[in-house]
Amino acid sequence: MAGEAALEARELRKSYGRVVAVESLDLEVAAGTVLGFLGPNGAGKTTAIRMLTTILAPDSGAFTVAGIPHTRPADIRRRVGVLPESAGYPGGQTGEEWLCYHAELFGRTRADARSTARRLLADVGLADRGHALISSYSRGMRQRLGIARALVNDPDVVFLDEPTLGLDPSGQVQVLDQISRVARQRGATVLLSTHVLADVEQICDRVVILNRGKIVAQGTVAEVVRQAAAPRHGQLKIPPELLDRALAALASTDVLAKANGGGRRGELELSIPSDLQLEVAVTQAIGALLEAGVPVLGFALEGGRLSDAFLAVTEDV
């Protein structure tokens, strides 16, 4: 099914009284994608997820999940898995009992539910804790159990709202690993809402950034970074004794250069004007130096991270 849209939304809108939480959401997510769903607090991510999982009815607009129109919410619910923002877990049940219960809710027989629960517990690294009470689980184990629960119905689309929130670094790695595996092994589409941009850079194929209920950037991580936060500063290292020659050569380009620390270490700082393409700027600067017989001993661009792009497209005007 790869290539087909697993999620499609057109002009989706939801207000709470006077607060417009989601203004006009248009989405098209190909099957098998791990989509990072980003935005500052209050951007509308949870509201959008609640609509797409049929918990909240949109005020207007339309969407499909796994090809099913939003007018058939019961059918959509059978095809999605959800890890909500603040999932509650019954401490008095074991992990296996809880997963069995949910599998049975989806119509599995007792025996089938039990084997599904055991398989999922193994998938999320909890095989040896299935018979322990959930109250004895760490936060990371609960999140992994929550992901297992989101998979009991073998969903086409999995919605994860802040799955790594409050986890220590090793818990984060395990959960991210699990999410990647869900997509790669099951071919499921994953919508991952998170504030942890490093997580997104690590596992997402594409990102959508929401701000005040509207999409302000979308594409692959590289595309979003290029559009919103192409690097504009860089550092060059040259032999210190060739400093004057280097500055004269760079003065003939559109790139602005100045020596750091009086130039004693041969370090130059470059600024690239915003109307100059990055590739053109780099080619001009390095070309001019080489032509002037100045060897380039080091070169690095600053910025160009998803966090820069995020800040650029979500900062308040």
Q: Tell me the C-alpha to C-alpha distance, in Å, between residue 124 and each of 196, 218, 248.
A: 21, 30, 60
Binding string to ligand ATP for residues 276 to 315, with x set by CB under 6 A, is what?
----------------------------------------
Order of strands, sheet of 60-65, starting from the edge strand that comes earlier in the sequence = 19-30, 5-16, 60-65, 68-69
If one counts every other C-beta atom within 10 angstroms of the C-beta of residue 103, the result is 23
Q: Binders of ligand ATP among 33-92, rule CB under 6 A?
A: 39, 41-47
Nearest distance, CB of residue 316 and ligand ATP, angstroms = 14
Q: Determine the Cα–Cα distance for residues 39 and 195; give it in Å rounded to an integer.
A: 7
Rounded to a whole number of angstroms, the minimum distance from the CB of residue 213 to ligand ATP is 7
Closest CB to ligand ATP among residues 44, 171: 44
Which positions ≥6 away from 223 have C-beta within 8 Å? none
Q: Nearer to ligand ATP by C-beta: 44 or 81? A: 44
Q: Are 159 and 53 within 8 A, CB to CB?
A: yes
Q: Which is nearer to ligand ATP, 57 or 297 (CB)?
A: 57
Least Å from the CB of residue 154 to ligand ATP: 27
Residue 240 CB contacts under 8 Å (≥ 6 apart), including other chains = 263, 264, 265, 266
Q: Which of 21, 66, 191, 230 binds ligand ATP (CB under 6 A)?
A: 21
Chain position carrying tokens 């069995």? 100
Q: Calculate helix-pair angle for 110-123, 95-105, nearest 10 degrees.
A: 130
Backbone Cα Rg of the chain: 25
Tokens of 222: 């590289």
> Minimal distance in Å, beta carbon 22 to ligand ATP?
7
Q: Using the rule CB under 6 A, give the single segment among 15-23, 57-65, 233-241, 256-264 that binds ligand ATP.
A: 15-23
Minimum distance, C-beta of residue 48 to ligand ATP, in the bound complex (Å): 7
Which of 166, 207, 174, 257 lies closest to 34 in space, CA to CA?
207
| Binding residues with ligand ATP: total (CB under 6 A) | 11
Nearest approach, Cβ of residue 162 and ligand ATP (Å)? 7
Q: Of 42 and 67, which CB lies nearer to ligand ATP in the complex structure?
A: 42
* Stretch of 14-22, 28-36, 87-95, 169-177 contacting ligand ATP, by CB under 6 A: 14-22
For residues 156 and 162, which CB has a smaller minimum distance to ligand ATP in the complex?
Answer: 162
Chain residues that interact with ligand ATP, rule: CB under 6 A: 16, 19, 21, 39, 41-47
